[in-house]
Amino acid sequence: MSDLPPVGHGLAAPSAAFAAAAPGRTPGPPLWLLLELTYRCPLHCVFCYNPTEFANTGAELSTDDWLRVLREARALGAVQLGLSGGEPLARDDLESIVAEARALGFYINLITSGIGLSEARIGALKRAGLDHIQLSFQDSSREMNDFLSSTRTFELKAQVAALIRQYDYPMVLNVVLHRHNIDHVGEILAMAERMGAQYVELANTQYYGWAWLNREQLLPSRAQLERAEEVTRAFRARVGNRMQVYFVVPDYFEVRPKACMSGLGSVFLAVAPDGTAMPCHAARMLPGLALPNVRTSPVREIWYESTAFNRFRGQGWMKEPCASCPERDTDFGGCRCQAYLLTGDADNADPVCDLSPHHHLVSEAVARAERAVAASAGQVQKLKFRDHRISIPVVTGDPVAGA
Ligand code: SF4
Ligand code: SF4
């Protein structure tokens, strides 16, 4: 589960078969299509993966535009569709989009906070052909769930979980982990078991978007991480095949980076609410990438011919130590967004790698987290909640500030 970073309310990774089908050099089809239908969301998660400048993006695509994107992407060979946001249920044309995707033959996954999933809507989505629903929780306790999202939504989510079961969907829960909830993994898994979950993704926060702004308050300590892994192992041993539990380790604690997106431009195509097409959902932050837009360019042209999608294909862009590294076919130098956020240069090796001359930027952040946790300095008062009002000033900020 490491190809595609699980972010925000959680995006499932493309399967290993996808990664094997597209080794990151020659562009095969965009097998995995993610449509971020809207940045509107009733929640305000402190780890939200949406761009911090979301309030400054243009108007959302129309229904007709989304349907055209579906047809064009399917014609290119896209097979797996994620419908995300923001909260995709904020779009009242979601059912039409699902129906078209079903007619085209996509496997359709709705990635949702659950807010807005009434019985009427889940019934309509089922009839339209939705295959899969991934429901996010922020924590096992109402207090922490509601605090982290700055809402009162825990009970609503529990009701949605019941609806998902009632409508015969596999119960798939996602919980983003960080300093303030990682010690609750046992309780989170117990909650998932009570809800009859078949799959649970415990996705340690990836530090982009709002999570990057809050990194100093969210990064857990290594001891917290190891305890959570131990609890997860014991839980797995007890429940066996009744529940699949994925524990996605935060890459800050690794010495090699994740093979981000199986290489940018290999299998993954994201479209933002305003039609911006991206080789990764966070790529908007990369300077000078000249991202194309589906309003003005066909998906085929975007995928095969645009500068943005070709920019990080192959290995020609790599600097040392990646350029001559024997592992460059395995991890593709890691995450370009993380390289940019931490070093200011997207062509650098991902500093998670201990061969990177910038690795100290990661180890220093981990050391600060160790000290903060040891001092019990949760610093929740400093957390910045995803909010339209503070998104605007964030736009004017320096994205590397705080690195
Ligand atoms: S604020 Fe909304 S879009 Fe962002 S992670 Fe939370 S539920 Fe997801
Ligand atoms: S130097 Fe670059 S290619 Fe080699 S392991 Fe590190 S990130 Fe991967």
pLDDT tens digits in sequence order for the chain, 403 residues long: 333 333 345 443 444 444 444 444 568 999 999 999 999 999 889 889 888 888 888 899 999 999 999 999 999 999 999 999 999 999 999 999 999 999 999 999 999 999 999 999 999 999 999 999 999 998 888 888 787 777 788 889 899 999 999 999 999 999 999 999 999 999 999 999 999 999 999 999 999 888 899 999 999 999 999 999 999 999 999 999 999 999 988 899 999 999 988 899 999 999 999 999 999 999 999 999 999 999 999 999 999 999 999 999 999 999 999 999 999 999 999 999 999 999 999 999 999 999 999 999 999 999 999 998 888 755 566 888 888 777 765 554 444 333 3
The pLDDT score that the predictor gives to residue 388 is 75
- Cα separation, 166 vs 171, in Å, equals 10
- Going across the sheet that includes 268-271, the strands are 244-248, 199-204, 172-177, 132-137, 107-112, 80-84, 32-36, 268-271, 277-278
Any residues with Cβ below 6 Å from ligand 1, and which?
Answer: 8-9, 41, 43-45, 48, 50, 85-87, 113, 149, 386
104 lines ligand 2 (CB under 6 A): no
| Measured distance CA(140)–CA(50) in Å, rounded | 23
Q: Tell me the CA–centroid distance for residue 162 and ligand 2, in Å.
A: 45
Between the CA of 117 and the centroid of ligand 1 the distance, in Å, is 15
Q: What is the predicted pLDDT for the residue at 19?
A: 44
255 close to ligand 2 (CB < 6 Angstrom): no
User: What DSSP line would sit under 273-331, residue for residue?
Assistant: TTSBEESSTTGGGSTT----BTTTS-HHHHHHH-HHHHTTSSSTTPPTTGGG-TTHHHH
pTM of the shown model: 0.89
Ligand nearest 47 Cα, by number?
Answer: 1
SS3 116: coil
The separation between CA 203 and the C-alpha centre of its own chain, rounded to angstroms, equals 9
Residue with CA closest to ligand 1 atom 6: 45
Distance CA 343, CA 361 (A): 8
Ligand 1 atom closest to 47 (CA): 5
349 Cα: distance to centroid of ligand 2 (angstroms): 6
Closest C-alpha residue for ligand 1 atom 3: 86
Ligand 1 center from residue 42 Cα (angstroms): 8
Which ligand is located closest to the Cα atom of residue 335? 2
Q: Give the closest residue (by CA) to ligand 2 atom 8.
A: 333
Q: What is the pLDDT of residue 11?
A: 41
- The token pair that represents 197 in the structure block: 């979950």
Alpha-carbon gap, residue 350 to 56, rounded angstroms: 28
Ligand having the closest approach to the CA of 391: 1
Measured CA to CA, the distance from residue 214 to residue 382 in angstroms comes to: 8
User: How long, in residues, is the chain?
Assistant: 403
- Nearest-CA residue for atom 8 of ligand 1: 9
Give the DSSP letter of residue 399: T
In contact, 335 and 5? CB cutoff 8 Å = yes
Residue nearest to ligand 1 atom 4, measured at CA: 48
Q: Any idea which ligand is nearest the CA of 359? A: 2
Checking DSSP bridges between strand 277-278 and strand 268-271, what pairing results, if any? antiparallel
Look-up of token digits 């930027």 = 361
Report whether 256 contacts 2 (CB < 8 A).
no
Cis peptide preceding 399, ω within 30 of 0: no
